[in-house]
Each structure stands twice: as structure tokens, then as C-alpha cells.
Structure 1
Amino acid sequence: MAYWFWVFLFYSLAGCFLERAYAHRATGEEHPVRRCLLFLPLCPVYGLGVMAVLALPVSMRQGLWLPIAGAVVTTVVEFLYHWACEAWLGVKFWDYSGVPGNLQGRVCVPFSLAWGALTAVALWLIQPPLETLIARIPPVVTYLMLLVFTADVVCSVRILSVTHSVTALRGQT
């Protein structure tokens, strides 16, 4: 169980940094707005996406199947994550309505292709050393991080469920 928790945290953190870099590059803003659920620098959709790909049968995670399966599975995760945030919390963290090939503004073809490439890079290059690192994390560190993460989720979800505002989560008016 600790393994999955650390995989989720690592890729959520990496996703947050990737989002910031992409937003900075695309918009030119010095401090682009984070589009994620938590106070911590984590974008859970990335962690959930990689976890879903890792849960696939090994045969679907090998060779050219990986980017294809990665694109499909992570796009489904992205769609469901967006739908859940909108349905349960009343917030939208992104909107692809203006992007060609979008589905209800929740997912789009260009980002689905990017997901495929990202999952291939993650599983081929990052995952093997990450697994070695995760195996060395003491249980007490896992429990402490789980406590911090749980507190973050409870506070973030409470704020969003009351305000339905991403700006309220960021402490903006």
C-alpha cells in the first residue's frame, strides 16, 4: 500500500511542476495559476493516471502498447477526475473547450497524445529508479506524509465544497 501512495505522490508532484512549466511557457506568466485540487504542490490527476497505467496487465505496458494504453487510460482518468471535481465540488480546474478534438471540455486529442508520451517516459525511464527509492522509505515517513496529505485533502475539499471556487482555495478574492 505504501508503494502506491508514494507512486501517487511522486507523479502528482512531478505533474504539478510539469503543469507550471507548461503554463509558464504557454502563457509567459512568471507565476502561473496552479490547476489542481490541493494546497500542497500536487496535481492528483497525474498520480492517478500513472497508477491506472501501472494497474494494467504487463502485456499492455510493454513496447508500443504502452504509449497507446497510456494515452487511453490516462485520458479516461482525466475525464473522470474533471467530471468528479465538477459534480461533487462545483469547480473546473481546466477547460479544453477551445481545443480541437475535445470532449465536453474535459479532455482533448492533443493532451491525450501528450499523456501517451508522458506515460511512456514515466514507465520506461523514471519508474525503475523510483521503485528503488520507494523501497528505502521508512514506514514512519510514509505515515507522516499520509497524515499531511490527508489533512490537505480534508481542508481542500471542505473549502471547495463550500465555496465552489478555485480562487478561494488559493486564498484569493
Structure 2
Amino acid sequence: MELFINYFLIFIIGSILGFIIELFYRRYFSVGSWINPGFLTGPWQPLYGFGILILYLVSSLEISIYYKLLLILVLMTLIEYITGLIFIKFFKIKLWDYSNKKFNIQGIISLEFSFYWLILGVIYIFLINPRIVSLINILDYTNILFIFFMGGLFSLIIFDFLNSINFAREIKKLYVKTKESIHFEQFKLFNKLKHKNLFILPIRAKDALIENVNEFLNKIKEKIKK
């Protein structure tokens, strides 16, 4: 139980930090707008959550720092590739697209972003990991309020995840009809401009989803014709 709580806490820390990183990256280096950078509704990025768990485990290995960095480069790139591939193959959603980057594979991973993962790995090993280890060492597993809080947070994330997966399944049903994959970042930006909504996608209801996706695809087709 203690091990699960430790790993879940690390996962949450990574997910929230990842959300913040992606939020500012999209605002100042990507789409130039404040939009929810994640697939989930809440302020967390599971990709970074699993990523920081990998960094935590790699940091605990008794190996040279050079081997640690090599492992981080390979494993973080691999988890990004697997995540992107799953959404494209199973849900027909492109969570991100590196097709315009040099040395990319299927637009899912690229040399540039693998380098960014390496930089984040270095920052984690030297600055973040010591603090996470210290935090874990002072956790009070007998504190009822702490356990209740962690349980509530876990339930909230699971609910958010299941709701978002259901949303992805609806998009896949539309793909069967239109044969068009959805570029999720462009879709979110489209919805923000249409609904004046900053972070939460107002498209969870089935009818609204169909209307928004179809309108989004029609806009893309009009641009292609022009």
C-alpha cells in the first residue's frame, strides 16, 4: 500500500508539472494561445506522470550517470511513441504531430523532442529527484486525511480518464464515417475560438461532439480546396 501511494504521488507530481510545462510551451512556442494541453480535462498530463516514474526508477539504479541519461533518452522517447501510436491506431486521434520536424518517425517522435526529454531528465536527476525522495521519506501513511485526499484524487483521475476514453471512442466512430483523423491540438484551438472556452472542451455530450467534429473537419476541407 505504501509503495502504491509513493508511486501515485510521484505520478501526480509529474502529471501536474507536465501540464504546466505543456501549457506554457503551447502559449509561447506552439499555438500561441492558452489552451488545455492535455487529453484529459483536469490539470494533469499522464504521459509526464508515467515519465517521471521512469525517471525516479532510473535515478535509483546503481549505474553511471551516462548510462542513466542514455536510458532516459531511450525510455522517454519510447513511452512517447507508444502513447502517440495507441491513440492514432485505436482512436484515430493525433495528440501531437511532429511531421514538420526533421528526423521524425510517423510524426509521433522526433530527434528534437527526444533531446528535450533528455534535458528534462537531467533537470529531474539533479534538482527534482532529491526533493521527491525527501518528500517520500516524511510521508505519514497513518494520517487519515492524507489517505482520504489521495484516494479522492485517484478516483477523480480515473473518472476523468474513463470520460475522456469514452470521448475518444465517439471520435473513432466518426472516423469510420469520414476517414479523417483528428489533430487534437487544432481541434481544441477550434473549440476555444468557437465557444470562447479557455481550458475545458465543451464537447462531452454525444450530439455536441458530432456537431463540433463535423464542423472542424469541414473547415479543414474548405482550407484544402482553397
Name the TM tier (shorter chain): 0.7 to 0.9
Q: How many residues align?
A: 171
**Candidates 48, 51, 72, aligned match of 1:49:** 51
Relative to the length of structure 1, the TM-score reads 0.87
Q: CA deviation at 1:109?
A: 0.3
* Structure 1: unaligned runs, 5 residues or longer: none
**Candidates 94, 119, 122, aligned match of 2:121:** 119
Q: CA deviation at 1:72?
A: 1.1
Give the residue type in structure 2 aligned to 1:13: I
Which structure would you say has the larger Rg? 2
Deviations 1:101-146 (A, max 9, x none): 1011100001101101101211321122123334536222111111
Q: CA deviation at 1:28?
A: 6.7
**Candidates 10, 13, 19, aligned match of 1:10:** 13
CA contact (8 A) 2:16 2:43 kept: yes
Residue 201 of structure 2 corresponds to 170
Q: CA deviation at 1:12?
A: 1.1
The alignment-based identity, stated in percent, is 20
2: CA distance between counterparts of 1:73 and 1:123?
15
Residue 168 of structure 2 corresponds to 160
Does residue 150 in structure 1 map to residue 181 in structure 2? Answer: no
Residue 83 of structure 2 corresponds to 81
Relative to the length of structure 2, the TM-score reads 0.68
* Structure 2: unaligned runs, 5 residues or longer: 141-145, 173-181, 189-199, 204-211, 213-226
Does residue 140 in structure 1 map to residue 143 in structure 2? Answer: no
Does residue 25 in structure 1 map to residue 28 in structure 2? Answer: yes
2: CA distance between counterparts of 1:25 and 1:95?
17
Give the residue type in structure 1 aligned to 2:18: G
